[in-house]
Amino acid sequence: MVPGPVPVDAASGGARARMNIGQVLDLLRPDFPQVTIPKIRFLEDKGLIKPERTPAGYRKFSDADVDRLRYVLRMQRDHYLPLKVIGEHLDAIDRGLEPPPIEPVVPTVPSVALAADGLPSPASFARRDDLRLSRRELLKVAEITEALLDQLEQFGLLTPRPGTGHYDTDALVIARTARELADFGFEPRHLRAFKTAADREVGLVQQVVAPMERGRDAGAKGRAAEAVTEIAALAVRPHATLVNAGLRGSGAGRARARRDPPGPARPHYLRRKVIVCAKSMSWVSGSRCPRTSRSCCCAR
């Protein structure tokens, strides 16, 4: 909604059209829970709103002032516009012009450093970025639903930062990966195995690094931190290689996975019945064979 002048009927709406700052705060809080009275005063100091003043110096806000506040707060929250740009928009609106079109803004995410083999390098484990995403931003950037995020948190796959409630790069990577795996039938409950394996690897690394951290010299902690990144990068390689080798060497496993995607077990009365070949005996065992068997005479 674009703010604009709101006519005031002194006979019928004068009392409603002029509000104190506490009443304005009550109107804005449902849509903007983080707004405060100091925030409203700050926006007034920047010239974005100009409420009237009583002879005693109290602020009196009109409906048009509230609309301008909503516009400013929405541009900050949804489009990350600086106050200077928002002020230019309001100036255009005041002069009867349309504000310039707003392009969607998506927060940029630091890239993960990869080694020559495509696996994470030690530099990726040493990454310390300050990315902070709100819950709404995480849903938008990772392109996941609220229900999926709730399940990921329920199974301990990602959690917001303590105290701030923001999500970091690790949470974003997990959320995006969970969304991509969902296309193959994986649910968050299936990913608990990855979390369990990761916790065990973390325990092993901590056991190795703990004696280094207890060193008495000044560089002990630095060497321990460097060792953590090196070991973490090395630990990923056998894990990825073993999974790749296991899948590559098990053609039957891949075929079975295609037939039976991850999901809850079907009741016995819904399971596929094995149809026995009625044509002749199996040329392998000499007994009646299922039609789905490779040795079945019907399949030859």
Mean pLDDT of 35-55: 92
Of the candidates 191, 173, 192, 171, which has an alpha carbon nearest to the alpha carbon of residue 182?
191
d(CA 140, CA 193): 27
Pick the most confident of 9-18, 24-33, 268-277: 24-33
pLDDT band at 48 (very low <50, low <70, confident <90, very high): very high
pLDDT value at 289 more than 80: no
What is this structure's pTM? 0.46
Enumerate the H helices of the chain as residue ranges: 14-17, 21-28, 37-45, 63-79, 83-94, 122-125, 135-142, 146-154, 169-182, 192-213, 220-248, 251-259
pLDDT in tens, 100-126: 777 655 555 555 544 555 566 666 666
Pick the most confident of 65-69, 233-237, 241-245, 252-256: 65-69
| pLDDT score of 281 | 46
Mean pLDDT of 140-161: 90
pLDDT in tens, 267-286: 444 444 444 454 444 444 44
